[in-house]
Structure 1
Amino acid sequence: MANHSHRFIEEFDGFIGFGLNAESDMDTVIYYLQKFSDDQLMQHLRKRLTSQDREAIFDLISSLLKKHLTEPEYHRYFMKDEH
């Protein structure tokens, strides 16, 4: 069985748009991240992303994980292992 899931994008039927309110902003961020991480899209984009693009994506995600997760949470929710 797979460790990762993207159920939100498959089940969400609400408003997608940024700037209306905090709730729809968060829904939109989740929606965009799950769409962005789609395997087919990533296969297409990986050929086009510059080293600066890759570094910016990696740095943004890493900094958010460090800011908002403890080390045990990082391993449990992001790495999907029990550290």
Structure 2
Amino acid sequence: MKKHQHRFVEEYEDLVAFGYSREVDEKSLMVYLQKFSDDRHLKTIVPRMSDEEIQQVFELLSELMRRYLSDNEYHEHFLKDDDHPSP
């Protein structure tokens, strides 16, 4: 069974733009992130990134998860760890 999903980018049909409204910004960011994480795209761009750029992206994403996800959410949503005990 597949654990990862990228349905939003496939189903979203509204405006993709930044600076229009918070709602449109959030949905546009979701589209951009899902498009960015497409396997073909990542296989193209990651080898071209410098070591520093790779580290910067990793640190940004890690910091966002530390800031906005509980430990349980991190295991459930990011790691897809079904065996992680809930509090």
TM-score range, shorter-chain basis?
over 0.9
Q: Structure 2 regions of 5+ residues with no counterpart? A: none
C-alpha distance in structure 2 between counterparts of 1:20 and 1:56, whole Å: 27
Deviations 1:2-38 (A, max 9, x none): 0000000000000000001000000111000000000
C-alpha distance in structure 1 between counterparts of 2:26 and 2:72, whole Å: 24
Runs of 4+ in 1 over 2 A off after TM superposition: none
Residue type at the aligned position of 2:30: I
Aligned pairs, number: 83
Question: Identity of counterpart residues, as a percentage?
Answer: 39
C-alpha distance in structure 2 between counterparts of 1:52 and 1:19, whole Å: 29
Q: Structure 1 regions of 5+ residues with no counterpart? A: none
TM-score (norm 1): 0.97
RMSD: 0.7
